[in-house]
């Protein structure tokens, strides 16, 4: 079962890895740089509704793996349209491109919770404990994300030839997929592959089980009331919102931030400034290295300490970004990427395992979707919009001549230190508040 699920996560996260961290560079080049925050907030806007609804559908139909394949197919079709539009319109229209992206996310975002729901059900049915078995499976998602990032960072298509380079000053360096719409084509291709693979997965529940009989509440309102009836679950879900604020900030702004150093004479030509996507991939490598710690940490310390450490790690990530540079401060940029493994896993992976254990029977799919609603929905939406306001106050997109070259690039120039420090202060404050307010630290089942 674990062997069947590993390719699913590899392909699913490759869809995201192709564009998520370099999407801001495509938007900036297409004249939508000032709207980056809204595109990353779109992840939250869509997550407010679709994951919980699809999760509810999975509980009622008891076929999360079928819904997973259908969602990926729909997302890949929309991404194909986005690619065609981006490649034929050098200047992107917000009124056209943004609705297309919202539609793509409406299909793609539910797949995160659906994949978890299907995987947990398949593991449980096979007599496998998800707390110990899921992290080694989920690590393949990180591997797929990293592989996709490395590919779009280096690949270019020129005169009918696929090539690779790590230099902006190479003849075709400015044509690398991380700067143009080809990143969207790569994402669409992985989407079709994921959909096809999902349709081959075994049924996650027995066909003899009666649909919907295990659901303790028939309606959405009653289900929400039940989920918040426990003080421990209620406090946890509220902090899922606060932690969700951190999720898309670095995804949206880290690569434009790193790339902007190419326009500064003291850092121009450095390997880091010209390969922001590849540098950012260290975050996912760290995520893969740390994911196996989640189960051990939950069993030993419980969710209270694990979640607090995750929030504190987000603070360190932002702090290192604010103080680092591609020169003598390169070690800080690298440290920011490495600490991401703790920041992401001890919040997201630990959170999904925790809510799986503490949610009532018959509501596992809804609970996974609800967590996506709280984190990637409410938290990420308001967090990304607020972050965009802060960044735009200190930085602006400008056409800059690269030092020592005749090439021109649109870069996000300005004082980046203050925004990152503000984000760091927020994360540290959230960590302290969580540790004070969340009292339950029982280690039953290794997660609660």
Task: State the average pLDDT over residues 106-116.
Answer: 88
pLDDT of residue 345 exceeding 80? yes
pLDDT on residue 214: 43
Read off the pLDDT of residues 359-391 as tens digits, 9 standing for 90 and up. 777 777 677 777 877 887 788 888 888 999 999
Distance from C-alpha of 202 to C-alpha of 188, rounded to nearest angstrom: 24
Residue 382 lies in a domain: yes
* Range of weakest confidence among 8-17, 207-216, 371-380: 207-216
Of 317, 323, 302, which is closest to residue 236 (Cα–Cα)?
302
For 212-241, how does the pLDDT look when each residue is reduced to its tens digit (9 = 90+)?
444 444 455 666 676 776 777 888 888 998
Tokens of 412: 């996000």
Q: 168 pLDDT exceeds 80?
A: no
Once rounded to an integer, what is the mean pLDDT over residues 42-56?
73
Give the pLDDT of residue 98: 96
Average confidence (pLDDT) over 274-290: 87
**444: pLDDT strictly greater than 60:** no
pLDDT interval class at 281 (50, 70, 90): confident
- The backbone torsions φ and ψ at residue 293, rounded to the nearest 5 degrees and listed phi first, read -80, -15
User: Which residue range(s) make up the domain with 353?
Assistant: 2-208+220-446
pLDDT-based confidence at residue 12 (cuts at 50, 70, 90): very high
Query: Which of the residue ranges 5-19, 67-81, 181-195, 426-440 would you say has the lowest mean pLDDT?
Result: 426-440
Distance of alpha carbon 98 from alpha carbon 314, whole angstroms: 28
Domain membership of residue 227 (yes or no) is yes
Give the model's pLDDT for residue 224.
Answer: 67
What average pLDDT does this structure show over 413-423? 96
- In angstroms, the CA 113 to CA 32 distance is 30
Residue 85 contacts residue 100 (beta carbons within 8 Å): yes
pLDDT tens-digit map of 124-159: 887 887 767 887 888 899 899 989 999 999 999 988
Q: Is residue 296 part of a domain?
A: yes
| pLDDT tens figures, 291-330 | 878 888 888 888 999 999 999 999 999 999 999 999 999 9
Mean pLDDT of 64-87: 94
Question: Is 213 contained in some domain?
Answer: no
247 within a domain of the structure (yes/no): yes
pLDDT of residue 14: 96
Return d(Cα 317, Cα 312) in angstroms, integer: 9
* CA dihedral of 82, 85, 90, 91, whole degrees rounded to 10: -80
Provide the pLDDT for residue 213.
Answer: 40
112 pLDDT higher than 50:
yes
- DSSP letters spanning 214-263: T-S-SSHHHHHHHHTSSHHHHHHHHHHHHHHHHHTHHHHHHHHHHHGGGG
- Answer positive or negative: Cα dihedral of 127, 130, 133, 139: positive
* C-alpha to C-alpha distance for 277 and 404, rounded to whole angstroms: 23
Per-residue CA distances from 440 to 63, 304, 307 (Å): 33, 7, 12
Helix (H) or strand (E) holding 408: strand 408-414
- State the average pLDDT over residues 345-372: 80
Asked if 214 and 360 touch (Cβ cutoff 8 Å), the reply is no
CB atoms within 10 A of CB 314: 29
The Cα–Cα gap between 19 and 177 comes to 9
d(CA 173, CA 158): 10
CATH value at residue 177: 1.20.1250.20
- Greater confidence (257 vs 52) lies with 257
Sequence-ordered list of residues with C-beta below 8 angstroms from that of 113, at least 6 positions apart, any chain = 51, 54, 55, 365, 368, 369, 371, 372
d(CA 413, CA 395): 5
Q: How confident is the model at residue 406 (pLDDT cuts 50, 70, 90)?
A: confident
Structure tokens at 92: 């992107």
Calpha distance 287→344 (Å, rounded): 7
Do residues 420 and 321 make contact, with C-beta atoms less than 8 angstroms apart?
yes
φ/ψ (deg, to 5) at 155: -85, 145
Query: Is 47 contained in some domain?
Result: yes
pLDDT of residue 215: 41
Q: Who wins on pLDDT, 280 or 189?
A: 189
d(CA 139, CA 294) in angstroms, rounded, equals 11
Contact 15/194 with Cβ under 8 angstroms?
yes
pTM: 0.73
Give the orientation angle of helix 293-301 with respect to helix 303-323, to 10 degrees. 130
Q: Of 82-91, 175-184, 395-404, 435-444, which range is least confident?
A: 435-444
* Residue 119's pLDDT band (cuts 50, 70, 90): confident
Looking at residues 401-428, what average pLDDT do you find? Answer: 89
CB 319, CB 420: distance < 8 Å? yes
How many Å separate Cα 374 from the centre of its chain? 14
The total number of structural domains in the chain stands at 1
């Amino acid at each position: 079962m674990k062997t069947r699920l590993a390719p699913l996560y590899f392909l699913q996260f490759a869809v995201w890895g192709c564009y998520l961290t370099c999407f801001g560079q495509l938007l900036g080049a297409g004249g939508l740089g000032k709207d980056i925050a809204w595109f990353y907030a779109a992840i939250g806007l869509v997550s407010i509704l679709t994951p919980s609804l699809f999760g509810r559908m999975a509980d009622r139909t008891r076929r999360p793996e079928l819904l997973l394949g259908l969602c990926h197919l729909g997302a890949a079709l929309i991404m194909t349209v986005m690619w065609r539009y981006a490649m034929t319109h050098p200047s992107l229209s917000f009124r056209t491109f943004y609705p297309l992206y919202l539609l793509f996310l409406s299909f793609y975002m539910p797949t995160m919770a659906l994949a978890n729901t299907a995987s947990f059900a398949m593991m449980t049915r096979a007599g496998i404990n998800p707390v110990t078995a899921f992290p080694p499976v989920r690590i393949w998602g990180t591997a797929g994300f990293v592989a996709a990032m490395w590919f779009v960072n280096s690949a270019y298509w020129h005169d009918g030839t696929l090539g690779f380079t790590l230099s902006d000053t190479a003849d075709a360096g400015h044509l690398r997929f991380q700067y143009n719409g080809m990143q969207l084509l790569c994402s669409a291709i992985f989407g079709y592959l994921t959909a096809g693979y999902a349709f081959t997965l075994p049924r996650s529940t027995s066909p003899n089980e009666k649909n919907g009989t295990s659901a303790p509440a028939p309606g959405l309102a009653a289900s929400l009331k039940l989920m918040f009836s426990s003080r421990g679950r209620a406090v946890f879900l509220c902090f899922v919102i606060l932690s969700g604020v951190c999720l898309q900030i670095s995804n949206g702004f880290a690569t434009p931030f790193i790339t902007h150093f190419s326009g500064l004479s003291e850092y121009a030509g450095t390997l880091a400034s010209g390969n922001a996507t590849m540098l950012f991939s260290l975050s996912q490598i760290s995520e893969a290295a740390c994911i196996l710690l989640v189960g051990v940490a939950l069993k030993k310390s419980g969710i209270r300490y694990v979640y607090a450490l995750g929030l504190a790690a987000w603070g360190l990530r932002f702090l290192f970004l604010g103080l680092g540079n591609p020169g003598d401060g390169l070690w800080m940029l690298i440290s920011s990427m490495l600490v991401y493994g703790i920041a992401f896993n001890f919040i997201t992976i630990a959170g999904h395992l925790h809510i799986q254990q503490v949610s009532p029977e018959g509501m596992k799919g809804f609970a996974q979707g609800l967590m996506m609603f709280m984190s990637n929905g409410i938290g990420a939406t308001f967090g990304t919009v607020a972050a965009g306001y802060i960044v735009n106050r200190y930085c602006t997109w400008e056409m800059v001549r690269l030092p020592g070259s005749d090439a021109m690039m649109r870069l996000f120039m300005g004082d980046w230190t203050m925004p990152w420090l503000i984000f760091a202060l927020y994360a540290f404050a959230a960590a302290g508040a969580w540790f004070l307010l969340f009292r339950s630290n029982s280690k039953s089942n290794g997660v609660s």
